[in-house]
Chain A
Amino acid sequence: MQAAPESVERVAALRDQRALRRGVVISVLASAIAIVFAVSLMVGQTFYPPADVVRVILGDDVAGASFTVGWLRLPRAVLAIVVGLSFGLAGVAFQTMLRNPLASPDIIGISEGASAAAAVGIIMFSLSGTGVSALAIAASLGVALLIYGLAYRGGVAGTRLILIGIGIAAMLRSVTAYTLSQAGQWDLQEALRWLTGSLNGASWEQAIPAFFALVVLGPLLLGASRNLSAMQLGDDTAAALGVRVERTRLLVVVSAVGLIAFGTAAAGPVAFVAFLAGPIAARLIGPRGSLLLPAALVGALLVLVADLLGQYAFGTRFPVGVVTGVLGAPYLIYLIVRTNRAGGSL
C-alpha cells in the first residue's frame, strides 16, 4: 500500500512534535530541579547569598555557611534528589511492567518491606550503613517474590496482586510499628521516618549509599526502557519484537527493588512518590515514549518541593512524607475513580 506523501509528512511532523515536547518537558523539569535545589541551599533560618553557597560547594571555608550549608542543607537536598530520582524511576518501572498505575512499590508493600527491615536493623540490631541497606534490599526482594508467588495462579491478575500486596503491607507496617515501640522511648521523629518518610537529620552517611545505588542501577533501568515499552504490548508481542522478556523482567525487578531499598533505608518510604511520579510524567509528555527519565525527574522535583514546603510553609515542620502523602492522597482516590469508570483491569 502506497502512503500518500502528505500523510507521511504528517506522521513525521507529529513525531517531531512529540520529540520536541519530550525535550522541552525534560529540560523544564531539570531546570526546575536545579532552581529548587539552589533555593533549598540558600533559605532556612539564616539566608545565605548564592555566592556563599557556591564557595561552600567549591570547598572554601565560609564562617557559619560551611556548617549550615555544607553539613545540614547540602546533604539534605542531595538526598532529596537521590531519593526522588530512585523512587520515581522504580515506581514507573513497576507501573509500566505490571501495566497498572496502582502497582507501584509503595502501594504493594515493597517500600514497607524495606522500611520494616531498615527499622529492625537499626533499632533491634544496631546496624548501620551497608548492613541496613543489605537487609532492606533482601527484605524487599523477598516481599516482591512473596507477592508475586501469592498472586500467581496461572497468570498474575493486576487487582489480585495489588490487594495481596496491600495485605502484606499491612503486616509489614505492624512489624515497623512494633519495632518502633520496642525502641524504648517512642521517638516521634524516628517513628515518622519509618512510617511516612522524612529527611530530617539527613547526613552524608545516609546519602552516599543511596547515591551509589542510583548511579549503578539507574542506567541499568534506563537501558531497559526500550524493552520495557515493548513489553507493554504484551509478553508475546514483545518476544516477537526480539525482547528477551524474562531477562528484562528480572533486570527491571531487581534494579527497581534495589533503588527502592536503598532509598528507603536512607529516608524511609516517602509516601506516594513512587506512585505519583509516573502518572504525572505521563500527563506531561503525553502518550508514547518511555516514561522512565521524566518520571525520575518528577520524583526528584516532588521530594525537593515537598521537603521545602514541609520545612517552611507551615507553622510546624512536617516531614516530607506527610506532605507527599497529603498531596498524593486525592490523586490516589481520583485514580481509583477513573479506573473504575473506565472498566480498567478491575
Chain B
Amino acid sequence: MTTAVSPPESGVAILRRPTRVRLLWLLVVAAVLVALAVASVAIGSRDVTWADILAGVGGSIDTIEQAAVYTRVPRTVLAILVGAALAVSGAVMQGVTRNPLGDPGILGINMGASLAVITGMAWFGIGSAVGQIWAAIAGAGITAVLVYVLGSMGRGGATPLKLALAGAATSAALASFIIAVALPRGDISANIRSWQIGGVGGANFENMQHAVPFLVVGFVVSMLSARSLNSLALGDDVAAGLGERVATARAAAAIGSVMLCGAATAVAGPIAFVGLVIPHLCRLLVGVDHRWLLPFSALTGSGLLVAADVLGRIVARPSEIDVGIITAFVGAPFFIAVVRRQKVREL
C-alpha cells in the first residue's frame, strides 16, 4: 500500500467521522458507563435500597447493606481503571503492530507481567505494591519484545497470525512457569488462581492508589503517540515520508501500552480479550483516528469490564464469576471471528 492514489470515498468517510457524530457517541458511551457504574454499586448478592447506596458510597457502614455497598465501590473503581487501561493498551498494540489481533492477553504480555510479579514475590521478596507494579511492567516489556521478535521472524515479518501464534505459545509457556514458581510457596500458591485468571473482586484503594500514577503516565504517553500511530497506520514507508521517526514513534507507543497493561495486571491479574474487542468496536463508532479512538476505547473498555463484573455477580448468585472468565467468554468468539476473516495460505 505505497501507491499515492487517494483512498476511495468510503475510506475517507470512515477515517473522518463528523465531529458531531463523534461527540454524540462520546456522550452515549459516557452515559452508559455512568449507568453501569451505578448498577455495579447497586447490584450484588445482597439487595440494597437507594438510601443505602447513597450512604454506602458516602462511606457509611452502619448497616450490613451499607457495608455491602461500601465494599462494591473499590471494585467498581478498579474495573473502570483496568478496563480503560487494557482497552487503550490493546488499541495501541494494534496500531503499533498494525495487527487486528493485538491484545495484551492474546500476545501473552499479561502472563509475562503476572509471572514477573510472582517471581518477584517468591524469589526476591518484593512485597510492596509499587515494587510489584515495576516488576509487572518489566515483565510485560520483556514479554512484548520476546513475542514481537518471535512473531516477526521469517518471511513476511510480523503478520497478525504469526504474532498471535507466538503470543499464545508464550502465554501457555508462561502459565506453566507461574505454577512452577508459585507452588513451593504456600503463601503465594493459595492465590495461584488470581494470577492465572484476572478479577477485580479483591480490590482495595490501598493497592489501587499506587497503580494510578503508572496508569496516568501510560495513558498520557499513549495519547501523545496517537498522531504517530495514525501515520504508522499508512505503512512504515509512508510514515517515514511524512516525517515520522518510525522506530522512535513505535517504541514510545509500545512503552505506553506496556505500562498500561503491566500496571493493570499488577492490580487485577491477567485479563484477556478486552484489548482485542474494544478497539474494534470503537473503530466502528468513531473511525480509525487514534486521537479519538484511544479515549473512546478507554471509556468503552471501562464499561465492558464493569458490565462483566456486574454480570459475574448476577449470573452466579450468591457467589460470583471472575471478570477474567466473562471476558474470555465474550472475547474468544470475537477472536475466532477475526481469525476467520484473516487470509492465510491454505494447507
Inter-chain contact B342/A160, CB cutoff 8 Å: yes
What 0/1 pattern do residues 206 to 243 of A give for CB contact below 8 A with B?
Answer: 00000000000000000000000000000000000000
Which residue on chain B has the smallest CB distance to residue A178?
B325
A36 within 8 A of B: no
- Is the CB–CB distance between B176 and A271 below 8 Å? yes
Q: A322-B180, A340-B154, A346-B154 are in contact. Are A157 and B169 (CB under 8 A)?
A: no
Tell whether B100 is near chain A: CB-to-CB under 8 Å.
Answer: no
Q: Say yes or no: A177-B150 contact (C-beta < 8 A), given A322-B176, A345-B345.
A: no
A31 within 8 A of B: no
Contact of A163 among B151, B168, B319, B325 (CB under 8 A): B168
Q: Which residues of A contact B174 (CB under 8 A)?
A: 329
Q: Compute how far the CA of A322 lies from the CA of B189 in the bound complex, rounded to whole angstroms.
A: 13
Q: A318-B183, A333-B150 are in contact. Are A167 and B165 (CB under 8 A)?
A: no
Residue on B with the closest CB to A156? Answer: B347
Would B150 and A340 count as touching, CB distance under 8 A? Answer: yes
Main secondary structure of the interface of B (DSSP, over half): helix
Interface size on B, residues (CB 8 A): 51
Nearest A-chain residue to B179, judged by Cβ: A322
Judging by beta carbons under 8 Å apart, are B173 and A160 in contact? no
A346–B166 Cα distance when bound, in Å, is 11
Q: Is the CB of B176 within 8 A of A157?
A: no
Interface residues of A in 145-199 (CB under 8 A from B): 150-151, 153, 155-160, 162-164, 166-168, 170-171, 173-174, 177-178, 180-182, 186, 188, 191-192, 195-196
**What chain B residues lie within 8 Å of A346 (beta carbons)?**
154, 159, 161-162, 165, 344
Residues of A within 8 A of B180 (CB): 318, 322, 325-326
Task: Report the bound CA distance from A121 to B157 in whole Å.
Answer: 44
* A322, A329, A340, A345: the one within 8 Å of B183 (CB): A322
Q: Of all chain A residues, which has the CB nearest B160? A: A163
Interface string of B336-347 (1 = CB under 8 A from A): 100110101111
Binds A, one of B87-95, B191-199, B220-228, B258-266: B191-199
Among A150, A177, A321, find the residue whose CB has the most chain B CB atoms closer than 10 A: A177
Q: Is the CB of A170 within 8 A of B169?
A: no
Stretch in B39-47, B74-82, B327-335 touching the partner:
B327-335
CA distance A223 to B155 in the complex (A): 39
Q: Are B321 and A164 in contact (CB under 8 A)?
A: no
Which residue of the partner chain, among B155, B177, B329, B336, contacts A174 with CB atoms under 8 Å? B329
Beta-carbon contact of B164 and A163 below 8 Å? yes
Check: A343 CB closer than 8 A to any chain B CB: yes
Chain B residues near A156: list those with CB within 8 A. 347
Q: A155-B346, A158-B347, A322-B183 are in contact. Are A163 and B176 (CB under 8 A)?
A: no
Check if A305 is an interface residue, CB within 8 A of chain B.
no
Q: B284 on the interface (CB 8 Å rule)?
A: no
Q: C-beta contact mask, A44-84 vs B, less than 8 Å → 1, else 0?
A: 00000000000000000000000000000000000000000
B164 contact set on A, CB distance < 8 A: 163, 166
Nearest CB on A from B160, distance (A):
9
Expressed in whole angstroms, the minimum distance between the Cβ of B275 and any Cβ of chain A is 14
Report the minimal beta-carbon distance from A103 to chain B, rounded to whole angstroms.
Answer: 10
**Which one, A167, A170, A196, A342, contacts B339 given CB within 8 A?**
A167
Asked if B172 and A329 sit within 8 Å, CB to CB, the answer is yes
Contacting residues, chain A, for B208 (C-beta < 8 A): none
Q: What's the tally of chain A residues with a CB closer than 8 Å to chain B?
A: 60
Q: Is B190 an interface residue (CB 8 A)?
A: yes
B168 lies within 8 A of A173 (CB): no
Instruction: Flag whether B236 is at the interface (Cβ < 8 A).
Output: no
Q: Given that A316-B183, A333-B173 are known contacts, is A171 also in contact with B329, CB under 8 Å in the complex?
A: yes
A284 to B312, CA, bound (A): 49
A336 close to chain B: CB less than 8 A: yes
- By a CB distance below 8 angstroms, the chain B residues around A167 are 332-333, 335-336, 339
B268 CB → nearest A CB, Å: 15
Please determine whether A160 and B328 come into contact, CB atoms closer than 8 angstroms.
no
Q: Does B267 contact A (CB under 8 A)?
A: no
Q: Given contacts A170-B328, A326-B177, A326-B180, are A159 and B165 in contact (CB under 8 A)?
A: yes
A 265-284 to B, binary, CB cutoff 8 A, 1 in contact else 0: 00000011000000000000
Q: How far is the CA of A153 from the CA of B344 in the complex (A)?
A: 11
Complex contact B339–A188 (CB within 8 A): no
Quick check: B170 and A333 within 8 Å, CB to CB? Answer: yes
When the two chains form their complex, are residues A326 and B168 in contact, meaning their CB atoms are under 8 A apart?
Answer: no
* CA distance in complex: A107, B175 (Å): 13
Q: Is the CB of B193 within 8 A of A177?
A: yes
Q: Are B172 and A107 touching (Cβ within 8 A)?
A: yes
Interchain nearest-CB distance for A193 vs B (Å)? 12
Instruction: Give A330 to B180 CA distance when docked, in angstroms.
Output: 14
Which residues, 199 to 242 on B, are CB-close (under 8 Å) to A? none
B272 contacts partner chain A, Cβ-Cβ < 8 Å: yes
A332 engages B169 (CB within 8 Å)? yes
Q: Given known contacts A166-B168, A167-B332, A174-B324, what 10 new A-B pairs fall within 8 Å (CB)?
A: A157-B346, A171-B333, A174-B329, A177-B197, A178-B321, A316-B184, A325-B180, A329-B176, A344-B154, A345-B347
> B interface vs A, CB < 8 Å?
150-151, 153-155, 159, 161-162, 164-166, 168-170, 172-177, 179-180, 183-184, 189-190, 192-193, 196-197, 272-273, 316, 319, 321-322, 324-325, 328-329, 332-333, 335-336, 339-340, 342, 344-347
What are 28 inter-chain pairs, A to B, with CB distance below 8 A?
A: A155-B347, A157-B347, A159-B161, A163-B165, A166-B165, A166-B168, A167-B336, A170-B328, A170-B335, A171-B332, A174-B197, A177-B193, A177-B325, A180-B193, A182-B316, A188-B190, A316-B184, A325-B172, A326-B176, A326-B177, A329-B174, A332-B169, A332-B172, A333-B173, A337-B150, A344-B154, A346-B159, A346-B344
Q: Which 8 A-B pairs have the closest CB atoms?
A: A325-B176, A329-B173, A340-B154, A316-B184, A340-B153, A174-B328, A174-B325, A171-B332
